[in-house]
């Protein structure tokens, strides 16, 4: 049996940037390394398994090339992992993942499993709808190791494989997920970066505003998993089954960053953690070690307005943390509370300015179409964003992502949801946003798309950008705003207005 296959497992990272981001896909968005796949690969390798990785998202390979590669690797098991360092992106990658599984099931004689955040949120539906033999619910390390062992022994007894969904004599069966392990040193060792096409990854445009021509190479790592909060629009904890946070040791994080710097010459680094700036003991230990090493990194990470501790900012900047993304979401405290974003904000503006005073740039993340939003409250949010005038801003529509409470509400209330998983992408043509208690999905989407242009075309914003980053970056942004996303939802309304005279 050993000679009949070449690797125990090949991981596939699906992605279709052109569809997901439209014209913004090619130039402005990042191409992120699939840290999760690389970390599970390292875990399996450390346990004696042969592993390969194909990153379709980074390499943009065709179906024919994919089949050829898989045939060369001759794996015992194919695992398509629908995961992304942006949690909501798992769902939008499901459509391309579906196609990949279909192609592989037709062309290759091999078992196919699907795992990741979306399949963990909807495991039964995924097994029913997709061309796969197995669905992995949960993190996957223990499931895959046990599944490979069963397949190697030529058995079809999957009853002991934790977190596995499978078909058995025409029935769908599943096994309980393995308990979450706190031993992240074992579960999340230094990732198998050597299995990835490291020259293909590229940072976001804004992350490199200080050096816009140098977005490659790019690294992305976790220092912790999960989030203790439970915002209703967020699906992050679907993979872990409940809110909570577990930490990697600062030593292993430093070891990983050192490898990225020394072997792959990486300076642009994303800390993927949902909330890096939360537990001071954890994040400041990493910061202190990075200050000592002096790698000259360009890091971005997530924080909340209410987790910022001003006295730590100076050292964070020294460690290379040049950007902090803040989930501000809404200007209106009641609307924030309505989605369980329970932060008491004395003064968002003073927190933003305190961060900026230390030379750290701020990415403000805002959301339109939260359940209690009205046109007025969304305008308040846009006004606040323009007043804060952060170095970058992301404007999202609230979406019902599988794994979030909002998805359960949307399904129970029969709200119109996108027909294809790919159209859960914030930027796709077919995207359908959610209505609120007061306004329609069309109003929300139109407001969001207009807000994007108002913010980035605002003369105060452009002047601030030019004074901080130079004329080249200003021109880059002006070029970016020439692209207006096409939206079927909005075209349909235009059409009906035209038809109605």
Cβ-based nearer residue to ligand SF4, 166 or 276? 276
Among 77, 196, 234, 360, indicate the residue that binds ligand SF4 (CB under 6 A).
234
Applying CB under 6 A, the span of 217-225, 228-236, 309-317, 350-358 interacting with ligand SF4 comes to 228-236
Q: Which two tokens stand for residue 158?
A: 């999957």
Q: Which of residues 442-471 bind ligand SF4 (CB under 6 A)?
A: none
Shortest Å distance, C-beta 126 to ligand SF4 = 22
245 makes contact with ligand SF4 (CB under 6 A): no
Task: State which of residues 327, 364, 403, 435 lies at the interface with ligand SF4 (CB under 6 A).
Answer: 327
Burial class from Cβ neighbours inside 10 Å (0-12, 13-18, 19+) for residue 371 reads middle
Report the residue number, 306 or 466, with the smaller CB distance to ligand SF4.
Answer: 306
Only one residue has tokens 């029913």, namely: 128
Token pair of 404 as six digits? 């979030």
Query: Residue for token digits 């940037």?
Result: 17
Q: And the tokens for 181?
A: 């392990």
Q: Read off the DSSP letter of residue 31.
A: B
Q: Of 6 and 230, which has the nearer Cβ to ligand SF4?
A: 230
Beta bridge partners of 164: 136
Closer residue to ligand SF4 (CB): 213 or 334: 334
**For 330-354, b where at least 16 C-beta lie within 10 A, e where not — what string?**
bbbeebbebbebebeeeebeebbee
Q: CB-wise, 229 or 366, nearer to ligand SF4?
A: 229
For 386, other C-beta atoms within 10 Å of its C-beta total 16
One character per residue 284-323, x = contact with ligand SF4 (rule: CB under 6 A): ----------------------------------------
Does residue 229 interact with ligand SF4 by CB under 6 A?
Answer: yes
DSSP state letters, 81-132: EE--SSTTHHHHTHHHHHHHHHHHHHH--SEEEEEEHHHHHSHHHHHHHSS-
Distance, C-alpha 254 to centroid of its chain: 22
Nearer to ligand SF4 by Cβ, of 81 and 232: the residue is 232
The least CB distance from residue 347 to ligand SF4, in Å, is 20
Least Å distance, CB 335 to ligand SF4, is: 14
Fill in the per-residue mask, 64 to 83: x = in contact with ligand SF4 (CB under 6 A), - = not in contact: --------------------
Taking the complex as a whole, how short is the minimal distance between the CB of residue 73 and ligand SF4, in angstroms? 35
> With respect to ligand SF4, which residue has the nearer C-beta, 12 or 324?
324
Piece of the chain touching ligand SF4 by CB under 6 A; list 39-47, 130-138, 222-230, 493-501? 222-230
- The region of 7-15, 124-132, 227-235, 472-480 touching ligand SF4 under the rule CB under 6 A is 227-235
Minimum distance of ligand SF4 from residue 406's CB (angstroms): 11
How far, in Å, are 68, 127, 142, 270 from residue 112 at the CA level?
16, 11, 17, 31
- Edge-to-edge strand list for the sheet holding 75-82: 51-55, 7-13, 75-82, 111-116, 134-136, 164-168, 171-174
Task: Say how far apart CA 179 and CA 119 lie, in whole Å.
Answer: 18
User: To which H or E segment does residue 351 belong?
Assistant: helix 348-357
Q: Nearer Cβ to ligand SF4, position 230 or 241? A: 230
CB 469 → ligand SF4: shortest distance, Å? Answer: 27
Q: Is residue 227 at the binding interface for ligand SF4, with CB under 6 A as the rule?
A: yes
With respect to ligand SF4, which residue has the nearer C-beta, 206 or 229?
229
Q: Which stretch binds ligand SF4 (CB under 6 A): 116-124, 135-143, 223-231, 252-260?
A: 223-231
**Minimum gap (Å) between residue 180 Cβ and ligand SF4:** 17
Beta strands in 321-458, from DSSP E residues, in sequence order: 321-329, 361-368, 392-397
> To 10 degrees, the CA torsion angle through 387, 388, 389, 390?
-170
Nearer CB in complex with ligand SF4: 134/401? 401
Which segment (107-115, 224-232, 316-324, 418-426) binds ligand SF4 by CB under 6 A?
A: 224-232
d(CA 79, CA 8): 11
When asked if residue 326 is in the footprint of ligand SF4 (CB under 6 A), the reply is no
Among positions 8, 137, 274, 443, the unique one binding ligand SF4 when judged by CB under 6 A: 274
The answer to whether residues 267 and 373 touch, using CB atoms and an 8 Å cutoff, is: no
* Cβ distance to ligand SF4 smaller for residue 139 or 274: 274
Rule CB under 6 A: say whether 117 interacts with ligand SF4: no
Query: Binding to ligand SF4 by residue 402, rule CB under 6 A?
Result: no
In which region does residue 268 sit, left (phi positive, over 0), alpha (psi from -120 to 50) or beta (all else)? beta
| List 231, 351, 355, 378, residue binding ligand SF4 (CB under 6 A) | 231
Task: Identify which of 117, 172, 115, 167 has the alpha carbon closest to the alpha carbon of residue 141.
Answer: 115
Residue with tokens 């035209």: 498
- Give me the phi and psi of 194, to 5 degrees please: -65, -15
Q: In angstroms, give the least distance from the CB of 83 to ligand SF4.
A: 15
What is the nearest approach in angstroms of ligand SF4 to the Cβ of residue 142? 24
Q: Does 236 bind ligand SF4 (CB under 6 A)?
A: yes
| 240, 179 Cβ separation under 8 angstroms | no
Q: Residues in the site for ligand SF4, rule: CB under 6 A?
A: 227, 229-231, 234, 236, 274-275, 327
């Amino acid at each position: 049996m050993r000679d009949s296959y070449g690797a125990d497992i090949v991981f596939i990272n699906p992605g279709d940037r052109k569809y997901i981001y439209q014209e913004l896909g090619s130039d402005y968005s990042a191409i992120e390394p699939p840290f999760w796949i690389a970390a599970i690969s390292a875990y399996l390798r450390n346990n004696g398994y042969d592993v390969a990785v194909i990153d379709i998202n980074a390499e943009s390979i065709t179906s024919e090339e994919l089949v050829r590669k898989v045939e060369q690797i001759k794996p015992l098991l194919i695992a398509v992992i629908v995961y992304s360092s942006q949690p909501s992106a798992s769902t939008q990658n499901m459509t391309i993942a579906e196609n990949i599984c279909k192609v592989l099931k037709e062309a290759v004689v091999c078992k196919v499993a699907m795992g990741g955040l979306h399949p963990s949120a909807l495991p039964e539906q995924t097994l029913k709808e997709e061309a796969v033999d197995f669905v992995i619910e949960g993190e996957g390390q223990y499931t895959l190791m046990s599944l490979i062992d069963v397949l190697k022994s030529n058995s079809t007894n999957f009853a002991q494989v934790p977190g596995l969904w499978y078909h058995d004599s025409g029935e769908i069966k599943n096994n309980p997920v393995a308990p979450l392990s706190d031993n992240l040193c074992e579960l999340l060792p230094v990732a198998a970066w050597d299995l990835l096409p490291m020259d293909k990854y590229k940072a976001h445009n804004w992350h490199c505003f200080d050096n816009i021509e140098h977005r490659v190479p790019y690294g992305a790592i976790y220092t912790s998993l999960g989030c203790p909060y439970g915002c209703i629009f967020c699906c992050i904890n679907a993979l872990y089954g409940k809110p909570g946070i577990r930490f990697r040791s600062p030593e292993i994080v430093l070891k990983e960053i050192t490898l990225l710097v020394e072997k792959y010459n990486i300076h642009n680094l994303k800390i993927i953690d949902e909330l890096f700036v939360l537990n001071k003991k954890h994040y400041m230990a990493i910061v202190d070690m990075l200050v000592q090493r002096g790698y000259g990194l360009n890091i971005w990470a997530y924080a909340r307005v209410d987790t910022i501790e001003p006295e730590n900012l100076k050292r964070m900047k020294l460690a290379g943390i040049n950007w902090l993304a803040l989930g501000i979401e809404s200007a209106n405290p009641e609307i924030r509370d309505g989605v369980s974003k329970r932060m008491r904000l004395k003064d968002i503006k003073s927190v933003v300015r305190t961060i900026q005073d230390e030379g750290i740039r701020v990415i403000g993340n805002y959301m339109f179409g939260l359940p209690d939003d009205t046109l007025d409250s969304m305008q308040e949010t846009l006004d606040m964003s323009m007043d804060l005038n952060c170095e970058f801003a992301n404007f999202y529509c609230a979406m019902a992502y599988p794994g979030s409470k909002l998805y359960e509400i949307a399904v129970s209330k029969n709200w119109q949801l996108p027909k294809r998983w790919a159209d859960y992408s914030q930027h796709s043509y077919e995207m359908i946003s959610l209505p609120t208690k007061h306004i329609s999905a069309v109003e929300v989407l139109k407001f969001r798309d207009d807000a994007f242009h108002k913010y980035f075309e605002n003369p105060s914003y452009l002047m601030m950008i030019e004074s901080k980053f130079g004329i080249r970056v200003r021109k880059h942004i002006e070029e970016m705003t020439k692209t207006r996303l096409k939206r079927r939802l909005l075209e349909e309304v235009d059409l009906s207005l035209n038809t109605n005279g």
